[in-house]
Amino acid sequence: MILINESNTGELVLDDGLNFGLGAFETIKISNGGKAILLEEHIERLKNTLNALNIKKEISVDKIYKYITSNNLKNIAFKILVTSENIVFSTRSIPYTSDYYKRGFNVYFSEYRRNSKSLLTYHKTLNYGENILEKRNAFTLGFDEPLFLNERYEITEGATTNIFFIKNNEIYTPKICSGLLNGILRQWVIDNFKVHEGLYTLEDLKSSHEIFLTNSLMGIMKVNKIEGYDLNLKYEKTYEILKTYLDFEER
Amino acid sequence: MILINESNTGELVLDDGLNFGLGAFETIKISNGGKAILLEEHIERLKNTLNALNIKKEISVDKIYKYITSNNLKNIAFKILVTSENIVFSTRSIPYTSDYYKRGFNVYFSEYRRNSKSLLTYHKTLNYGENILEKRNAFTLGFDEPLFLNERYEITEGATTNIFFIKNNEIYTPKICSGLLNGILRQWVIDNFKVHEGLYTLEDLKSSHEIFLTNSLMGIMKVNKIEGYDLNLKYEKTYEILKTYLDFEER
Amino acid sequence: MILINESNTGELVLDDGLNFGLGAFETIKISNGGKAILLEEHIERLKNTLNALNIKKEISVDKIYKYITSNNLKNIAFKILVTSENIVFSTRSIPYTSDYYKRGFNVYFSEYRRNSKSLLTYHKTLNYGENILEKRNAFTLGFDEPLFLNERYEITEGATTNIFFIKNNEIYTPKICSGLLNGILRQWVIDNFKVHEGLYTLEDLKSSHEIFLTNSLMGIMKVNKIEGYDLNLKYEKTYEILKTYLDFEER
Amino acid sequence: MILINESNTGELVLDDGLNFGLGAFETIKISNGGKAILLEEHIERLKNTLNALNIKKEISVDKIYKYITSNNLKNIAFKILVTSENIVFSTRSIPYTSDYYKRGFNVYFSEYRRNSKSLLTYHKTLNYGENILEKRNAFTLGFDEPLFLNERYEITEGATTNIFFIKNNEIYTPKICSGLLNGILRQWVIDNFKVHEGLYTLEDLKSSHEIFLTNSLMGIMKVNKIEGYDLNLKYEKTYEILKTYLDFEER
Amino acid sequence: MILINESNTGELVLDDGLNFGLGAFETIKISNGGKAILLEEHIERLKNTLNALNIKKEISVDKIYKYITSNNLKNIAFKILVTSENIVFSTRSIPYTSDYYKRGFNVYFSEYRRNSKSLLTYHKTLNYGENILEKRNAFTLGFDEPLFLNERYEITEGATTNIFFIKNNEIYTPKICSGLLNGILRQWVIDNFKVHEGLYTLEDLKSSHEIFLTNSLMGIMKVNKIEGYDLNLKYEKTYEILKTYLDFEER
Amino acid sequence: MILINESNTGELVLDDGLNFGLGAFETIKISNGGKAILLEEHIERLKNTLNALNIKKEISVDKIYKYITSNNLKNIAFKILVTSENIVFSTRSIPYTSDYYKRGFNVYFSEYRRNSKSLLTYHKTLNYGENILEKRNAFTLGFDEPLFLNERYEITEGATTNIFFIKNNEIYTPKICSGLLNGILRQWVIDNFKVHEGLYTLEDLKSSHEIFLTNSLMGIMKVNKIEGYDLNLKYEKTYEILKTYLDFEER
């Protein structure tokens, strides 16, 4: 962990960011080849979040690159956390092994609801507690990821993922205004494939032919179980999207 | 500020509490006479919040008393912040001068909505960003406090306060399940007066005869303007409640 | 009071009607001239209600006429109550004096909501408790009638009345499927004037130019205050409707 | 049936209680050993209901005990009905035979909705007609109990039961503010086991591993069919709860 | 196609009807025997629609009969389109072959919602675009008809059909105020059988025993698949209704 | 009017566009100087609408320019209507005189609701009937423009306008996903000023300091009355925006 504060005392400052969750963060995948995947997009979103939180803090892309190369980072998750008084760089290993991709994710629906009328729903901030609590709860119960409905019982997103489903060969994903964070990978899929964005319910999900999740660290992950029930889905289009993404990652 | 961590390095640990807002806090008023107002209730709520967040951390009431007396604290706000790896005590001055009580609060309704179906709505955690952002926004626009509706357009609470209104001499306050934090002062009013708890809308508020806000630092604060319009309310019952509270505080 | 039970013991039978509110009733105005106003319509509705409650009980119009003439009933409220084991006739004086018509009604909105998705909302049954409780509560607080919104905050009806409002000379009243009992007088107004039936909110009511209530005993009653605030409305079309009704009543 | 009225004429008085459903009732199980199960809790709730209905009527626990012992009541349902002018004691046999417990209940969802914004939803009053009508309708169609959703399509309760479901070994039951009557048995389960109270939908129910119903006469009853479809559930935790309850009943 | 305009230039006039969809139309089945099925009901509805659109245009039943007989129309769809400046008669073949009736319809739910609070939802006007777009979309995806929920996720109707379902031998269909067009065939079924009209959800549909669709051209059409899943329903009551209808058509 | 059809018969073809409202249109202001205001944006939107309706029809900008110049069009409304078989150019005079700008618009809220979950809500198509009916209804009642709420009682747009309001010097306008057509002028205001896009209710509107409407023909129009009540607003920022727009128009 490296702390880039002005004071350079090397200590975290207990500012409003840490007191009230008023800070932004990004988690970026560093590939086997040492490439920071979709880095410009992550930095762009980080700036937007800081702007929404009214935090005046310069993020230097140079420093990030230097940090990555000087530490020889490879196949690792690189995290940037920014509050009004702190900038922190840190890394951790990527938890998604090839086993996960083979079997797919086992998901369930949280009893909590996403709020489509909250500013922070749309930004990646330190107000991230419900995601982490629900993610932990999911693990305890034997699931890989909790999904959330909004206050009108429409599908929104997972705790740390976005969701897509395929029906009759068409790709669908919930609209941002359902109440979700626009993931960098979510945007990548939309930019590279024809995707319908709409307001969808559980019924739409249940009658779909393929379901997959996305986030920056896992890329594209198929879903094989909902609430523990085996979906017995045949994955074709999802694999096509996954292949396109892996090609992009390695390019 | 004092940091009571096990390691005793005197440094904040960047744990999940600070990374994701997974921590609890309480703000307690220390009266002119050095009394920690409703301390047992604050400690009790703090323990409940830590329990909900699954944080195993012992809070010693003795240490708190020692801190208050050894620092000779008087007429000040005392804050306790707890995450899985940190316990922090700190103080700040109380911002509510007698001027505020004379003129009353000028409030407005935020464009964001409280989420009645979120766990964290009901607990005082570091996921407090929207409250602070909206509170700041209110000050910029010349208001004292933003109020929030929920997703069904029912009244809930203010950013840092609970709300009560009086109609034909009866006291009303939104039900907890509207989506609000049960403030220590809110509970005190309910325990000491006959209060109806229900699901109320703006219409109920607009046709009321007196409106007041509560929190641990300000006690009982009348509202004299909504969205900048003078309400021209005659305050009687509110003053009676305020008097009872001031007597309690000094006892 | 007269009890027309088969057994003729002259005693009320504690049947499901009295145990669970599974009975029907009608309140019919007997005019100064001894005429039972809109009697056929009341009997028709009574039969419909009994049918909905699956109560097989014959109502003899002859017996009603005999009761009215033999008791020389005039300017009085005549009530019929029917359960599976009981038929009860009774009378009480009409509470609406000319003073009421001069000053108009002072109404307010109840904090409870009508249920548009309940069978009993649409029938006049002994499940009438909330109406009476709220009516009593209104009197205690100095109001004449409580009005109800439904679960979607649309206007429905009063505890014992239907509501109409006039805007730019057009007459409006909430649709039955908002969640209301179709009053005999409500239907009379619709049959005799051009009336829009729709889904309306408080906003529609507040921007209207005249408001009036109807029920079988009071006929047409203007509203002069909502929540205690004087509306300062000029009543023109309401008086025209009232005049037509009074002519009808005396015919 | 015994009628305990002041006048002692031995006749039911047709008061507002019988006219408008403004009365309270409780149904208490008398065990094989002649014990009135959870009697204090029933009396306490009865008093609360009378209070909510503003009925000033003293209930003497002594009279109840005397009635039970002098009539040598055993394995029977004992009912108390109270209105402003009447107190009625009566008994009937308990309809739940061992066959029911073996096969479990076959339930379905009513097309009507519970009203979460009505006072009477939360109290056990004579405004009980919809429950009885829907219960009868269920029997006609071959079901044991109708269940109700509220206006937001959340699960609430059955006509005469509360509902619980189990998922990954955790017990869940709808929150009171969904719109339900807090059954004496429901509270007993909550007091004796760890239970999550929340806002749940049909989806939550359908993905659960065990479902059971409670009321004072039947105790704990498993559900084996919804809408006629066999759920093929394996009951384990439900049997554990049932066993604990039977031990309690016989203690 | 025949155009009956006053000017008799034989040309369509680009009036508000064509510019903004402000026109009405009816599609009437001419039977094998040359009978215009339910013609009076169609003309009646056409007049109501023109009235709602404030179009003063006389429809001559004579001209219609003359057109049908002089053109010797048989087993064909006859369409009348009316705007403020145009009346157009046209015919097209009926697309529903006996194959359709044998296999039944394969339906799915559109991602769009019917609007229960729009005037045009309840009238058959040229504002018919969403129906046609969704119908075409359904064909592309291999379905026969798209169905629509309303804004509260209640079932309403198909793009060009009304929906009925049967449960325990009782017939159900969504209420008009759910947001649907009252089809001529829908009304015929209600007039000839006992039908419950209510507010129903997908859950109600999914637990039903038979499902069928109606419109003027197809008559009664069973549903055998929803979202591609085979329902394996046994059709009995539907065939009874179909038989009654076919008898009526040939009479 | 000029009709540019392939067949060149000079006659309108009664295609699906005219039968079902499946066509697009744009109304473009030609300034005093003969400039087609924001023509590129109009053409761009027209192409998007045709795409959404799946109409393959080329729009030649050259033909439009030639039409404007050859007809020497000035201070006039130029309309393009496109269906699968027809392209029609036409003109009409601009109805907004300087009187309108001086007194401002008198608006009211329609009893109908915009559908946020309909495709056609978001596109300018011939399914425009409700707008025109409500616009005519407004004129009859003495108003200039009807405004619409959506199914959740949020503000959306006017029949032919978009709405903005100003509070404490900040500009607000409803989000597209409330259910509105993104007007060319609406986008121009957003591109040229700092504007908050959100989900707003009547309460937000009523507590605002300035309100204005936009559309391509009228530009920027202040609102001086809602439901006939004089708002007594002081217009400052609106005039600034109007001035900027007029400069742009004349540039």
Where is the domain boundary, D33, D58, D93?
Answer: D93
Pair C86, C102 in one domain: no
Please, are residues D186 and D158 in contact by the beta-carbon 8 Å criterion? no
Mean pLDDT (whole number) for E207-235: 90
How many other CB atoms are found less than 10 A from the CB of residue D118? 21
Residue B182: predicted pLDDT: 97
Separation between Cα atoms, residue E164 and residue E172, nearest integer Å: 6
Separation between Cα atoms, residue E104 and residue E242, nearest integer Å: 13
3-class secondary structure per residue, E20-35: HCCCEEEEEEECCCCC
Q: Which amino acid is at B168?
A: N
CA-CA-CA-CA torsion for C203, C204, C207, C213, nearest 10 degrees?
-120
Residue B7: predicted pLDDT: 60
Separation between Cα atoms, residue D221 and residue D185, nearest integer Å: 11
Q: Does F132 touch chain E (CB under 8 A)?
A: yes
Q: What is the pLDDT of residues E121-157, one digit of tens each?
A: 999 999 999 999 999 999 998 999 999 999 999 999 9
Separation between Cα atoms, residue E156 and residue E146, nearest integer Å: 11
Residue E157: predicted pLDDT: 98
Q: Which amino acid is at E115?
A: N
Those of residues 86-115 in E touching chain D at CB distance below 8 A are none
Mean pLDDT (whole number) for B128-150: 94
CA proximity to C81, closest of C159, C16, C17: C17
Lowest mean pLDDT among A220-229, C181-190, F38-47, F80-89: A220-229
Separation between Cα atoms, residue F114 and residue F131, nearest integer Å: 10
Separation between Cα atoms, residue B141 and residue B159, nearest integer Å: 15
CA proximity to C25, closest of C7, C2, C50, C8: C50
Chains A and C touch (3+ CB pairs under 8 A): no
Where is the domain boundary, F93, F113, F143?
Answer: F93
- What is the count of structural domains for chain E? 2
Beta strands in chain E (DSSP E): 2-3, 24-30, 76-82, 87-92, 105-114, 145-150, 155-158, 162-167, 170-174, 195-198, 210-215, 219-226, 229-230
Those of residues 158-177 in E touching chain C at CB distance below 8 A are 175, 177
3-state secondary structure of F230: strand
pLDDT at F174 > cutoff 70: yes
| CA distance, residue D109 to nearest chain B CA (Å) | 24
Contact pairs from chain C to chain D, CB under 8 Å: 112
Q: What is the mean pLDDT of chain C?
A: 92
Q: What is the pLDDT of residues E206-220, one digit of tens each?
A: 888 999 999 999 999
Separation between Cα atoms, residue B187 and residue B171, nearest integer Å: 13
Q: What is the pLDDT of residues D111-144, one digit of tens each?
A: 899 999 999 999 999 999 999 999 999 999 899 9
> CA–CA distance from E18 to each of B4, E24, E26, F88 (Å)?
77, 11, 16, 12
Residues of chain B with pLDDT > 90: what percent? 80
pLDDT at A227 > cutoff 70: yes
Which neighbouring-strand residues pair with D230?
Answer: D225
| CA distance, residue F57 to nearest chain A CA (Å) | 22
Which positions in chain E touch D226 (Cβ < 8 Å)? Answer: 207
The ipTM of this complex is 0.87
Of A50 and E11, the structure prediction assigns the larger pLDDT to A50
Q: What is the pLDDT of residues E88-119, one digit of tens each?
A: 999 999 999 899 999 999 999 998 999 999 99
Which positions in chain F touch A175 (Cβ < 8 Å)? Answer: 177
Please, are residues B108 and B90 in contact by the beta-carbon 8 Å criterion? no
Pair C134, C188 in one domain: yes
Are residues D126 and C151, on separate chains, in Cβ contact within 8 Å? no
| DSSP code, position A218 | T
Task: Locate B93 and state its tokens.
Answer: 């001055």
Pair D42, D105 in one domain: no
Separation between Cα atoms, residue C19 and residue A111, nearest integer Å: 38
Angle, to 10 degrees, between the axis of helix D61-70 and the axis of helix D39-52?
130
Task: Locate C86 and state its tokens.
Answer: 């009981």
CA proximity to E202, closest of E230, E165, E237, E229: E165
Pair D65, D122 in one domain: no
pLDDT at D10 > cutoff 80: no
| CA distance, residue D223 to nearest chain B CA (Å) | 27
Pair C106, C208 in one domain: yes
Beta strands in chain A (DSSP E): 2-3, 24-30, 76-82, 87-92, 105-114, 145-150, 155-158, 162-167, 170-174, 195-198, 210-215, 219-226, 229-230
Residue C61: predicted pLDDT: 87
> CA–CA distance from E213 to each of D31, E97, E157, E160, E201 (Å)?
53, 15, 9, 9, 16
Pair B89, B102 in one domain: no
Pair D83, D115 in one domain: no
Separation between Cα atoms, residue D70 and residue D78, nearest integer Å: 14
pLDDT at E8 > cutoff 70: no
Q: Which of F110, F153, F231 to mutate to test the interface with C (most CBs of C within 10 A)?
A: F153
Of E2 and F172, the structure prediction assigns the larger pLDDT to F172
Separation between Cα atoms, residue D113 and residue D17, nearest integer Å: 25
Mean pLDDT (whole number) for A29-51: 95
Mean pLDDT (whole number) for E2-18: 80
Q: Distance from CA of residue F105 to its chain's centroid? A: 15
pLDDT at F250 > cutoff 90: no
Task: Locate A22 and state its tokens.
Answer: 């008023």
3-state secondary structure of C98: helix
pLDDT at C138 > cutoff 80: yes
Residue D6: predicted pLDDT: 65
CA proximity to D149, closest of D190, D170, D121: D121
Separation between Cα atoms, residue E89 and residue E67, nearest integer Å: 9
Those of residues 185-214 in C touching chain B at CB distance below 8 A are 202
What phi and psi, each to the nearest 5 degrees, are found at residue B183?
Answer: -65, 150
| CA distance, residue D17 to nearest chain C CA (Å) | 8
> CA–CA distance from C84 to each of A191, C6, C56, C128 (Å)?
69, 11, 7, 17
How many other CB atoms are found less than 10 A from the CB of residue D16? 19
Which positions in chain F touch C168 (Cβ < 8 Å)? Answer: 141-142
Are residues D112 and C126, on separate chains, in Cβ contact within 8 Å? no
Separation between Cα atoms, residue B73 and residue B161, nearest integer Å: 24
Q: Distance from CA of residue C25 to its chain's centroid? A: 11
Q: Give the Cα-Cα-Cα angle F199, F203, F204 (nearest 5 degrees).
A: 50
Q: What is the mean pLDDT of chain B?
A: 92
Question: C220: domain CATH number?
Answer: 3.20.10.10
| DSSP code, position B9 | S
Contact pairs from chain E to chain F, CB under 8 Å: 113
Are residues C109 and B203, on separate chains, in Cβ contact within 8 Å? yes
Lowest mean pLDDT among A57-66, E165-174, F99-108: A57-66
Reported as a pLDDT band with limits 50, 70 and 90, residue C7 is low
Lowest mean pLDDT among A178-192, B117-131, B197-211, E37-51: B197-211
Residue E178: predicted pLDDT: 94
Pair C81, C146 in one domain: no
Residue C6: predicted pLDDT: 64
Task: Locate B114 and state its tokens.
Answer: 């409280």
Separation between Cα atoms, residue B108 and residue B95, nearest integer Å: 20
Of C206 and E124, the structure prediction assigns the larger pLDDT to E124
Chains that touch E (3 or more CB pairs under 8 A): A, C, D, F
Chains that touch A (3 or more CB pairs under 8 A): B, D, E, F
Mean pLDDT (whole number) for C191-204: 93
Pair B45, B108 in one domain: no
Question: E68: domain CATH number?
Answer: 3.30.470.10
Which neighbouring-strand residues pair with F78?
Answer: F28, F91
Residue D21: predicted pLDDT: 94
Long-range contacts from D237-243, C-beta under 8 angstroms, 24+ separation: D237/D166, D237/D169, D237/D171, D237/D210, D238/D166, D238/D210, D238/D212, D241/D171, D241/D189, D241/D193, D241/D212, D242/D212
Q: What is the mean pLDDT of chain A?
A: 92
Cβ contacts of F19 within 8 Å, gap of 6 or more: E25, E81, E126, E128
Which positions in chain B touch A19 (Cβ < 8 Å)? Answer: 25, 81, 126, 128
Rg (CA), chain F: 18
Q: What is the mean pLDDT of chain F?
A: 92
Q: Which amino acid is at D222?
A: K
> CA–CA distance from A19 to each of A12, A84, A118, C25, C82 (Å)?
12, 11, 20, 63, 66
Domain span holding position C20? 2-93
Q: What is the pLDDT of residues B72-126, one digit of tens each?
A: 999 999 999 999 999 999 999 999 989 999 999 999 999 999 999 999 999 999 9
> CA–CA distance from B19 to each of A131, B12, B104, B127, B144 (Å)?
12, 12, 38, 11, 30
Which positions in chain A touch B25 (Cβ < 8 Å)? Answer: 19
Which positions in chain E touch D110 (Cβ < 8 Å)? Answer: none
Burial of A128-138, coded b for 16+ CB within 10 Å and e otherwise, reads bbbbbbbbebb
Separation between Cα atoms, residue A138 and residue A144, nearest integer Å: 6
Please tell me the number of Cα atoms within 13 Å of D71 on its side-chain side.
Answer: 20
CA proximity to D46, closest of D89, D75, D14, D10: D89
Pair A143, A69 in one domain: no
pLDDT at D7 > cutoff 80: no
Q: What is the chain B residue with the closest CA to F207? A: B227
Length of chain A measured in residues: 251
Residue C10: predicted pLDDT: 72
pLDDT at A7 > cutoff 80: no
Are residues A175 and F175, on separate chains, in Cβ contact within 8 Å? no
Mean pLDDT (whole number) for A209-231: 91
Where is the domain boundary, F68, F93, F118?
Answer: F93
Mean pLDDT (whole number) for A228-232: 77
Q: Are strands C170-174 and C195-198 parallel, antiparallel or unpaired?
A: parallel
Pair D10, D68 in one domain: yes
| CA distance, residue F166 to nearest chain B CA (Å) | 12
Q: What is the pLDDT of residues D159-190, one digit of tens each?
A: 999 999 999 899 999 999 999 999 999 999 99
Of the partner residues B108, B111, B141, the one whose CB lies closest to the CB of residue F198: B111
Residue E50: predicted pLDDT: 96
Please, are residues C173 and C212 in contact by the beta-carbon 8 Å criterion? no
Contact pairs from chain C to chain F, CB under 8 Å: 21
Pair E108, E26 in one domain: no
3-state secondary structure of C201: strand
Mean pLDDT (whole number) for F162-173: 95
Please, are residues E141 and E108 in contact by the beta-carbon 8 Å criterion? yes
Chains E and F touch (3+ CB pairs under 8 A): yes
